[in-house]
Amino acid sequence: MTVAVRGPLSDALREKIIAVCDAKLASKGPGVGLSFYAFFANKNDTPGLLIEVATWWIQTQQLDHFEKASKIKQLVQAQ
């Protein structure tokens, strides 16, 4: 499956996603999966960023609810 990269994420969000993916990969190994909610606290104080990630994840990339952290990191780094 080829995933098209449309609209880039903000630099701050890209850095946050990569950091979370790195932490999950380091603690749980290469098979760890996550959802876009992994980038936010339970009480989200940044709804704009949540919408940005949700739009990128669901509409732009058309990803499943859970994806491998390594795949997400690769997609983000490709932007």
Name the domain count of the chain.
1
Say what the pTM is. 0.83
Q: Is residue 59 part of a domain?
A: yes
Of 20, 42, 21, 45, nearest in space to 31 by CA: 21
Q: Is residue 2 part of a domain?
A: no
Q: Is residue 31 part of a domain?
A: yes
Is 90 exceeded by the pLDDT of residue 48? no
Q: Which residues pair with 47 in a beta bridge?
A: none
Helix, strand or coil for residue 35? coil
Parent domain of 57: 11-77
Long-range contact set of residues 49-54: C-beta below 8 Å, sequence gap at least 24: 49/10, 49/13, 52/9, 52/10, 52/13, 53/9, 53/13, 53/17
Pair of tokens at residue 26: 């380091």
Structure confidence by residue, pLDDT tens digits, 17-31: 999 999 999 999 999
